[in-house]
Amino acid sequence: MKFVKFYLFVVIIIFSSKLFSQHSELGLGGGIAYYAGELNPAPNIMNKLRPTFGVFYRKNLSYRYSLRFGGHYAKLAAEDKVKTNENINFFETRNYSFTSTLLDAYGVIEFNFFPYQLNNDITAKVTPFVFIGVAGFYTNPEVENNMTNTSYGTSTTALAIPFGLGIKSNFIQNLGLNIEWTYRKTYSDLVDGLESLHFNGYQLSNSQNNDWYAFVTISLSYKFLRKTDKCSFPIN
């Protein structure tokens, strides 16, 4: 139910932003999601990769700059890796793990390294791009203590800073192919659900070091034009 409400919210935003205005795109895609925090401090992106799916609306302000708004539905998970330290007797790992649903809504500004527009012969067919913006997210992690076989659940809502890079390409006519990597620097240490408690003398969570999560995605976007739109505008 929360998943349905979330995407209805995203759809309302998209259509209220004049979906079929000049040089606008609608896209969807999917990929993998991973988490970085106390249970995956390296981070090791192979520590329980999980799927993500998303939709977005892009407003192209020029051949260089775009605004993009969208949302992701994803799963996050991670587990403690075995640690050893011969200098400490009876050393025990936390042996914790977590799984969570993630709902993520964002707005970013994109910069294209080359002048770019879908289905426009006077611009580049492929361009790398970077982006940064603001995001909000919801998680409901279930944390499990694998030594005692106990678990507890919690939830959190917080803000994050999304940033990343990618490649846009003109796939077929008004259809574009996008590949990107994005990191979310969050303002919460509860993405994994670990509280600032101690177990057997070891801290479960460092409240001074907030959690992160990331997406690696491939998406398709379609450019909409009205009959009154002009063919092009100056390259800048």
Give the per-residue pLDDT at 233: 47
Span 2-15+30-224: which CATH code? 2.40.160.20
pLDDT in tens, 24-70: 999 999 999 999 888 887 777 778 899 999 999 999 998 999 999 99
Q: Domain map of the chain by residue range? A: 2-15+30-224
Give the per-residue pLDDT at 20: 41
pLDDT average, residue stretch 196-220:
75
**Segment (H or E) for 149:** none
- Is the CA virtual torsion 52, 130, 67, 59 positive or negative? negative
Rounded CA gap, 193 and 113, in Å?
A: 39
Which range has the worst mean pLDDT, 58-67, 187-196, 225-234?
225-234
Give the per-residue pLDDT at 5: 54
Give the per-residue pLDDT at 226: 55
Q: With 60 as the cut, is the pLDDT of residue 217 above it?
A: yes
DSSP assignment string, 69-116? EEEEEEEEEEEPPP---TTSTT-----EEEEEEEEEEEEEEEEESS-B
Q: With 90 as the cut, is the pLDDT of residue 157 above it?
A: yes
Q: What is the pTM of this model?
A: 0.79
Q: With 80 as the cut, is the pLDDT of residue 148 above it?
A: no
pLDDT in tens, 114-133: 999 998 889 999 999 999 99
pLDDT average, residue stretch 148-162:
88
Backbone angles phi, psi at 10, to 5 degrees: -65, -40
Q: With 90 as the cut, is the pLDDT of residue 230 above it?
A: no
Binned at pLDDT 50, 70 and 90, residue 16 comes out as: very low
pLDDT average, residue stretch 82-98:
54
Query: How would you classify the pairing of strands 175-186 and 156-172?
Result: antiparallel
Regarding predicted confidence, which is higher, 86 or 184?
A: 184
Regarding predicted confidence, which is higher, 204 or 100?
A: 100
Give the per-residue pLDDT at 14: 47
Q: With 70 as the cut, is the pLDDT of residue 110 above it?
A: yes
Q: With 70 as the cut, is the pLDDT of residue 205 above it?
A: no
